[in-house]
Amino acid sequence: MSAVLLLNGPNLGILGRREPEIYGTDTLADIEKAVAEEVAVKGWDVVSVQSDSEGDLVRAVHDHHDSTVGAIVNPGALMIAGWSLRDALASYSPPWIEVHLSNVWAREQFRHESVIAPLAGGVVVGLGSFGYRLAAKALLHLSEAATTGPRS
Ligand code: DQA
């Protein structure tokens, strides 16, 4: 079965109780369920990896390269200087979408640039956990476009 890699970086394992006024009350398990619901229309599965360590995320990108049809990546604070995650994603050939729950541009200056964003197929920002659903829909759309040619 084809699968989507759902990759979440540091501090995203405690969603639900982490600054809920910024990140909402949905847990990572809720998000995994939502993404699974979206991609089930294609018969895709979800492989979810969350780690507070960059090396684990790099390894996950390598390990799932051949077995996944796309990825949804919330790098957390690794957006700021996660160069090895950036390099791992540079060699990940399926499409992938970057997600941030919060509107990073409405926050501190240090969150205004993502080192991985220039490589992403798209970026969803500021829509809370719903952003992961949108990213899943985007992967479905990109996969469709890849087989039928570009559409608006
Ligand atoms: C985040 C935004 C990052 O700046 C922050 O470090 C996070 C969460 C988000 O989803 O809004 O950990 O990626």
Question: For residue 64, what is the DSSP state?
Answer: T
Is the pTM higher than 0.85? yes
Structural domains present in the chain = 3-148 (3.40.50.9100)
Cβ neighbourhood burial of 87 (10 Å; 0-12, 13-18, 19+): middle
- Residue 100 Cβ contacting ligand 1 at under 6 Å: yes
- Residue 50 Cβ contacting ligand 1 at under 6 Å: no
Q: Are 71 and 4 in contact (CB under 8 A)?
A: yes
Total H helices, total E strands in the chain = 6, 5
Q: What percent of the chain has pLDDT over 90?
A: 93
Ligand 1 atom index nearest CA of 10: 12
Q: Are 69 and 46 in contact (CB under 8 A)?
A: no
Per the annotation, the verdict on 100 as an active-site residue is: yes
* pLDDT attached to residue 152: 56
Q: How far is the CA of 23 from the centre of ligand 1 (A)?
A: 8
pLDDT in tens, 13-60: 999 999 999 999 999 999 999 999 999 999 999 999 999 999 999 999
- Ligand 1: residue of 79, 105, 127 to mutate (most ligand atoms within 8 A of CB) is 79
pLDDT in tens, 91-131: 999 999 999 999 999 999 999 999 999 999 999 999 999 99
* pLDDT attached to residue 46: 98
- Residue 104 Cβ contacting ligand 1 at under 6 Å: yes
